Amino acid sequence: MTDSPLRLLLGFDAQAQRDKSQPPAFLHRRDRKFALVCEEQGVAPDATRWLAHLNRLSGPDATPPTTDQTLTFWRRVNTGFAAVGIVAGVLTMVGLLFYDGGQRINITVFLAFGLLQLLLALFTSMQSIVGWQPWRWLIRRFQSGEASKGTINRLHPLLMARAAHLGGLCFSVSGLVTLLVMVVVQDLAFGWSTTLETAAANYHQLVQIIASPWAWLWPAAAPDLALIEATRFFRAGTEGASPDPALWGQWWPFVTMLWATWVLLPRLLLLLLTSALVRNRARRLISSHPAMHALLYRMETPALDTGNEHNDADDLPDTRIRDNLLPLPDSDTLLCWAGAGEPELPEALRSEKKLILRAGGRASLTEDEQALNQIADHLKTGGNTVILLTRCWEPPTGELQDFLDSARGIWPSGTRVALVPLAADINREPAGHQIQPWLRFAERVGNEFVRVSLPPLQWPVPHTASGEPS
């Protein structure tokens, strides 16, 4: 089974089942970062690239076991139907062509058997389209565990129909090959007979209708009225038998084309149609998968830290105060995150800064990486603190945490980050409820690397008449 849409559906469904055990915050940061990488590369973040990205992160042999188990099961089903079809085709054709030198091979039996095969092929396709599963008991018996669960169940009717058509196609091919071999190695005698009162002219009209698809291509495969009149036989005696036995073998082109056109060709076309329906249905199941909607939301929405993971319904509210804020340290390195400090930096933060960079927000991932490397080179010349400006009214994002995680590995050992949330009015301190998410964010990243500081106020401090601050 090599259908990429089917494999993609199985892989996506298996990954969605595994993601149920992961925290939502982790999934949001992971998928949002993937979307940003795709945006930087100028490609659409679809399910195929998403699974390939996760497989690269997971390392080799990352294909879900349930995916391999399901594909192997259906591969075995297809192989079993094909093997049974080959054997049955040979045995059936040998039975239809059995000739002991007495009674001739009845063409009417071939017509009835071809009609039966055509009806079975159409019935198989119809039951798959309407979703009826007459083989459900067989699937439940031989398929167990995780491979029998999930979205793949909705494809079972089409998959079983495809396996049946594959078996029918193998049946038809092996039967046709057996027919041609028997024509070569034996002197087959064909004729026609029926219990009904049927005139040769009426039988000729029926044969002409059946042979109409190929009569223009192979006229010898469309028997004329003379051959039909000469090869009719009866249940007893030889009345009406042809004086020339050589005519009895002239039916084989018609029998060959009858089998190829009305038995083999419908199976081939219906197999191709069912395979196309499997691929189309797999694509629609991926696009409508509940996990796909959640994935698209995570990729399109920035990951925000609201602190809800710390405060469940059974917990008390987070009432910590700003008791772990540190004074703003001296540093000549300033990094503005996602537009913080726009349109103009506060003078107290801008003065005496040798390196002022911007990252996040509208900056690309390449620009973020360049900023990390510039700061790393600058820190090697002296200093171990970086001031990071943010907007206090915007909650921490997963992109910022990923940025700081990368910085921890690139910047020199012992580097510290002073995270400074700026208020909308740079002359005022941020409100207490706006500082709390940043304190929790610093704890999650690691207080040994990131600490929160308040920005310096911009207005002059009033003095009393004695010169002491009031």
Quick one: 225 and 344 in the same domain? no
Mean pLDDT is lowest, of 176-180, 197-201, 305-309, for 305-309
2-30: average pLDDT? 83
How many other CB atoms are found less than 10 A from the CB of residue 365? 18
Residue 295 located in a structural domain? no
- Give yes or no for residue 329 having a pLDDT over 90: no
Of the candidates 287, 315, 348, which is a domain's last residue? 287
Mean pLDDT is lowest, of 25-34, 66-75, 312-321, 329-338, for 312-321
Closest CA to 260 of 81, 89, 78, 80: 89
- Say how far apart CA 302 and CA 11 lie, in whole Å: 26
Residue 318 located in a structural domain? no
pLDDT of residue 436: 83
- Residue span of the structural domain in which 274 resides: 65-287
- Give yes or no for residue 461 having a pLDDT over 50: no
pLDDT of residue 317: 47
pLDDT in tens, 19-77: 888 888 888 888 888 888 888 888 888 888 898 888 877 655 555 567 778 888 889 99
* Lookup: tokens for 228: 């039909």
Quick one: 264 and 179 in the same domain? yes
Q: Does the reported pTM lie above 0.85?
A: no
Tell how many helices (H) and how many strands (E) occur in the chain.
16, 7
With bands split at pLDDT 50, 70 and 90, how would you rate the model's confidence at 143?
low
Residue 37 located in a structural domain? no
Q: Contact 114/176 with Cβ under 8 angstroms?
A: no
pLDDT of residue 175: 95
352: left (phi over 0), alpha (psi -120 to 50) or beta: left
Of the candidates 254, 287, 320, which is a domain's last residue? 287
Residue 260 located in a structural domain? yes
Residue 53 located in a structural domain? no
Q: Contact 383/333 with Cβ under 8 angstroms?
A: yes
φ/ψ of 331, rounded to 5, equals: -160, 145
pLDDT of residue 460: 41
pLDDT of residue 300: 85
Quick one: 266 and 402 in the same domain? no
* Lookup: tokens for 284: 């629609």
pLDDT in tens, 225-250: 888 888 877 654 444 444 566 677 78
With bands split at pLDDT 50, 70 and 90, how would you rate the model's confidence at 200?
confident
Quick one: 270 and 367 in the same domain? no
Residue 336, beta-bridge partner list: 358, 389
- Say how far apart CA 53 and CA 204 lie, in whole Å: 65
pLDDT of residue 244: 62
212-221: average pLDDT? 89
Q: Contact 160/135 with Cβ under 8 angstroms?
A: yes
Look over the chain and give the mean of its residue pLDDT values, rounded to a whole number. Answer: 81
Q: Contact 274/126 with Cβ under 8 angstroms?
A: no
- Say how far apart CA 181 and CA 93 lie, in whole Å: 11
Q: Contact 267/172 with Cβ under 8 angstroms?
A: yes
Give the whole-number percent of the chain exceeding pLDDT 70.
82
Do the strands 105-106 and 355-359 form a parallel or antiparallel pair, or are they unpaired? Answer: unpaired
Q: Contact 456/330 with Cβ under 8 angstroms?
A: no
411-422: average pLDDT? 87
Q: Which amino acid is at 319?
A: T
Of the candidates 287, 321, 349, which is a domain's last residue? 287
pLDDT in tens, 90-101: 999 999 988 665
Quick one: 376 and 238 in the same domain? no
Q: How many domains does the chain have?
A: 2
pLDDT in tens, 249-265: 788 899 999 999 999 99
Q: Give, rounded to a whole angstrom, the gap between the first and last alpha carbons of the chain.
A: 82
Quick one: 169 and 95 in the same domain? yes
With bands split at pLDDT 50, 70 and 90, how would you rate the model's confidence at 86?
very high
Quick one: 122 and 266 in the same domain? yes
- Say how far apart CA 444 and CA 38 lie, in whole Å: 27
Q: Which amino acid is at 377?
A: D
Residue 177 located in a structural domain? yes
Quick one: 144 and 265 in the same domain? yes
pLDDT of residue 457: 64
- Give yes or no for residue 286 having a pLDDT over 50: yes
pLDDT of residue 303: 65
Q: Contact 393/434 with Cβ under 8 angstroms?
A: yes
Residue 299 located in a structural domain? no
Quick one: 275 and 347 in the same domain? no
Cα within 13 Å of Cα(49), Cβ side? 14
Quick one: 148 and 267 in the same domain? yes
* Lookup: tokens for 64: 């879900």
Quick one: 199 and 277 in the same domain? yes
Residue 168 located in a structural domain? yes
Do the strands 190-191 and 105-106 form a parallel or antiparallel pair, or are they unpaired? Answer: parallel
Quick one: 84 and 191 in the same domain? yes
